Structure 1
Amino acid sequence: MAGKWLGAVLLAASVIATPAVAGEAECGAGVYRLADGGIVDVAAANEGALRWRNIDGSSGELKRDGDRWTSTAGWTGRPDGLQVRFDCAANHMAFGEQDAQRIALETHETSFTSHGTQLVGRLLLPPGDGPVPIVVLLHGAEFTSARDTNPLQRMLPAAGVGAFVYDKRGTGASGDKYTQVFSTLADDAVAALAEARRMAGTRGARFGFQGPSQGGWIAPLAATRTNVDFLIVSFGLAVSVADEDREAIAFQMGLKGYGPDVIAKAQEIGAATTRIFASGMRDGIEELDAVRGRYRNEPWYKDVYGNFTHIILGMTAEEIRTKGQAYRFGTPLHYDPMPTLRAVNVPQLWAIGGMDIDAPAGETSRRIKALIADGQPITLAVFPKAEHGMTEFETKDDGSRVSTRYTPGYFRLLIDYAKGDRLAAAYGDADITRPAATE
């Protein structure tokens, strides 16, 4: 599974999400400490299944098999030999050959207001009463409740880092309508941070934002509007939404073996769809019809996808004017994130995937490295095998991808950075560029 621009902008990067806990799966859901010290989160998945995530990045789906649960690797559906049993009364899990005990997190529900809208959130803290760092978890572009779907809300506290998770406006239990207006969402993040500070009291040692996917544009913007200690961007971008689609077309077509001439023609199509989206589905439809007419019989035409181009590429002009209205979320397609990134003066971590076809890493990596060279306190980690959502994958014969696991080192990197610890020499196979002061 992999999110598309429907992953980075219009929908969620679904590889990090699981549905709300329900039914028989409910008692087993939670976060556990393994006998070897590892951490495994268990959350409800589709149709009564469970999904486990180990802090080392391994993951699988669990389905009931009598008095036990049988696992399949990643999202592949292939058995991986793991069997799990839950003793809910004892808060215990037998995870293969290892015993695991549920970690009792301190959990507080809340609601708060931003721009007159009530938003619903949750603070989760590690056991104990000592001060801890706290990460305010922002969103991608999902329509689902982050309180139901974001596993970091448990994985971070299990490792000693508090987490504040909230349903963004128009999702879950929060009010108002769904929007992708970055400035409004940044103000909501600022309000979430203030609520997290209030609730944490003396337990809050340092506070930061984590912005995944679309949140990679919003978190830095929020960081310029409040006092924050650090910032984490996961599989986000330092280019505009429009440039994301253009780069995605080039990267995707290149992976399929097409050369520069074909890529340039495919990007003509993307330029036409960008104008349509940017105009609220009003302008540029005739231009798209014309460019489709030139290229629709070319053998490469079927492979044009991008991040949002594919949404309307198969629509008629009338369908764009009617059905296309469903995608009017106020997305600022030409928002340039660079002035904001230059204005952020707190340490930043950027963790991105080298094989991300939804939010390609190339230009973003170059720009972040330039900021590092200019002296900004940014750490860049490019995980070469990871795609959107920081998962590794297999490629099927038809070119589609199936996620197999989270890339090794990613979760541990987030934890160490949030804690303010000196980073390790290596995190999986990530190529790490560190601030000049720490080289």
Structure 2
Amino acid sequence: MKIIYTAILLLIAQIALSQIPKGHYEGALTRDGSVQLISFDFDTDKTTYDIPEIGYMDVATERISQSKDTLNVKIFYGDFYCFLDSKTGDITGISKDINPKIRIHLKKTVAKEKSFSEEEIKFTNADVSLAGVLFKPIKSEKPIPYVILIHRSGWEDRNTPWYHSLAYSLASKGIGVLLYDKRGTGKSTGNFSSADFNVLANDAVSAFNYIKERKDLNYTKIGFLGASQGGWITPLAANKVSNCGFAILIVGPAVSLYEQDINRVQYTLTDEGYSKQSIDSALHYSALFFKYIQSNNTKDWEALKTYASKIKDKKWIDNLDIPQSQTGDDILWWRKNRYDPKEALNNIKCPVLSILGEKDVLVPPAENKIKMETYLKNAGVDYKIVTIKNCGHDMITKGELNGTDWNWPYTYWQWQRQPQEFFNSIFEFINK
């Protein structure tokens, strides 16, 4: 009987250890003395974390599990092994793969109350049902602006860290936000990979109309904010509605899709240190690729295949689009999206904010800023173009040593960060 009783106690203890902690914890990440603040809200259903310096707010952990006395957590910086001190309640941890190691130390504290509510919503575009979240500031007695976030390429839904964090930050500052799951992701129906830019713009227009139809929302104006591919789609959406309040383009290209991809190849290979000969070879392939895309000519296809065979063993081949057939999905996508934003930007009627990243290899300022300014001048609208220093396409700086060797305190790790200028530019422009 005593053996059975002891076994039950051990089982209860093991179950207790296997449970994920609950509550709000605040602390820091450290790497050889350098510090970056972090906080967690642990729960059995969903655990989120904030790293304010990189603009991450209320982001769901990529993975979290408890195994005996070890809490395994995956966040922006990778996998961490963490441990809960039963005496103090502190959580301490260490990175799995990064060296020098990133350490984490968290203490339980009282959570701050959100200054906004989140409402699950649904609206439609033709036969597609779009689901999302409406972020509604609570203490807003006066009418407030609302912004609709338009997605980048690929899978993007309400939990995508970059967009969810931006929505959270804007709502915390008293701006209403509509963040929907892109068609075919989250709780939305449809298929984003088969939709062209006009269809995606119509999804955003449906979100605009949804806000206008809500009699309980006290808004001053409604605008759009799109990043990367969303920066192409935003002007299209703005031109499809009446009384658009503003359009914000985050690393939104002013060049065509074809030009942008050629820029991507050139600047990426340059950034990775390849020789001029290698870059010229890659650009020659890209020229052949787009020549075939536009001509759909068998002769051009054969020329493309021949050159692809010639460069197939090059280290930089993964940066190129190598089609497997004349009518593959990638070929059809490029033909469907032969888009140039010139017309949409030339004809836009609302104020525009364009934000570029100085170190962006996908939408390099050198190739986009002058065109953007030219088109917006032609449109005759109020506009502002901002280039954020040291930022790439994700609007976050690169993490690096401020020297050549680890030598604290003289040389230390500079954490990745999102410059305050980025968020301030958006917030001030919407409220202007």
TM over 0.5: yes
What pairs with 1:160-239 in structure 2 (closer than 5 Å)? 160-178=174-192, 179-199=194-214, 201-226=216-241, 227-239=243-255
Query: Aligned partners of 2:229 and 2:168: how far apart in 1?
Result: 22
What's 1:391 paired with? Answer: 396
Deviates more, 1:206-215 or 1:169-178: 169-178
Answering whether residue 386 of structure 2 is matched by residue 381 of structure 1, we say: yes
What's 1:302 paired with? Answer: 315
Residue deviations 1:358-383, cap 9 Å, x none?
23222111212324555542211111
Structure 1 unmatched runs, 5+: 1-20, 53-58, 94-100, 421-439
Do the aligned partners of residues 294 and 142 (structure 1) sit closer, same or farther apart at CA in structure 2, a change above 3 Å counting?
A: closer
* 1:138 CA displacement: 0.8
Do the aligned partners of residues 280 and 198 (structure 1) sit closer, same or farther apart at CA in structure 2, a change above 3 Å counting?
A: farther
Residues 50 and 63 of structure 1 are in contact (CA less than 8 Å); yes or no, is this contact kept in structure 2? Answer: no
Query: Aligned partners of 1:41 and 1:111: how far apart in 2?
Result: 24
Equivalent residues, number: 363
Percent sequence identity over matched residues? Answer: 23
Query: Aligned partners of 1:409 and 1:139: how far apart in 2?
Result: 22
RMSD: 3.9
What's 2:360 paired with? Answer: 356
Residue deviations 1:381-421, cap 9 Å, x none?
11131111111114799xxxx9923234212221222222x
What's 1:407 paired with? Answer: 419
Query: Aligned partners of 2:107 and 2:56: how far apart in 1?
Result: 14
TM-score, normalising length: structure 1 = 0.70
Do the aligned partners of residues 62 and 262 (structure 1) sit closer, same or farther apart at CA in structure 2, a change above 3 Å counting?
A: closer
Residue deviations 1:175-196, cap 9 Å, x none?
1222340000111110011112
Query: Aligned partners of 1:290 and 1:81: how far apart in 2?
Result: 51
Do the aligned partners of residues 355 and 418 (structure 1) sit closer, same or farther apart at CA in structure 2, a change above 3 Å counting?
A: same
Residues 139 and 146 of structure 1 are in contact (CA less than 8 Å); yes or no, is this contact kept in structure 2? Answer: no
Do the aligned partners of residues 237 and 64 (structure 1) sit closer, same or farther apart at CA in structure 2, a change above 3 Å counting?
A: same
What pairs with 1:255-334 in structure 2 (closer than 5 Å)? 255-257=271-273, 262-275=278-291, 284-296=300-312, 301-304=314-317, 306=319, 309=320, 311-312=321-322, 319-320=324-325, 324-325=328-329, 328-329=332-333, 332-334=336-338
Q: 1:29 aligns with which of 20, 36, 48?
A: 48
Answering whether residue 106 of structure 2 is matched by residue 106 of structure 1, we say: no
Residue deviations 1:113-169, cap 9 Å, x none?
102211112211112242211110110013242355422221110111111011121
Do the aligned partners of residues 336 and 210 (structure 1) sit closer, same or farther apart at CA in structure 2, a change above 3 Å counting?
A: same
Answering whether residue 124 of structure 2 is matched by residue 124 of structure 1, we say: no
TM-score, normalising length: structure 2 = 0.71
* 1:236 CA displacement: 1.6
Structure 2 unmatched runs, 5+: 1-39, 65-72, 405-413
Residues 238 and 368 of structure 1 are in contact (CA less than 8 Å); yes or no, is this contact kept in structure 2? Answer: yes
Query: Aligned partners of 1:143 and 1:197: how far apart in 2?
Result: 27
Residues 60 and 71 of structure 1 are in contact (CA less than 8 Å); yes or no, is this contact kept in structure 2? Answer: no
Secondary structure of the residue aligned to 1:229 is coil
Give, as a single letter, the amino acid of the residue that structure 1 aligns with 2:360: D
* 1:45 CA displacement: 2.2
Q: 2:347 aligns with which of 340, 343, 367?
A: 343
Answering whether residue 69 of structure 2 is matched by residue 65 of structure 1, we say: no
> Which one scores higher on RCO, CA 8 angstroms, separation ≥ 6?
1
Query: Aligned partners of 2:299 and 2:245: how far apart in 1?
Result: 43
Secondary structure of the residue aligned to 1:151 is helix
* 1:271 CA displacement: 2.2
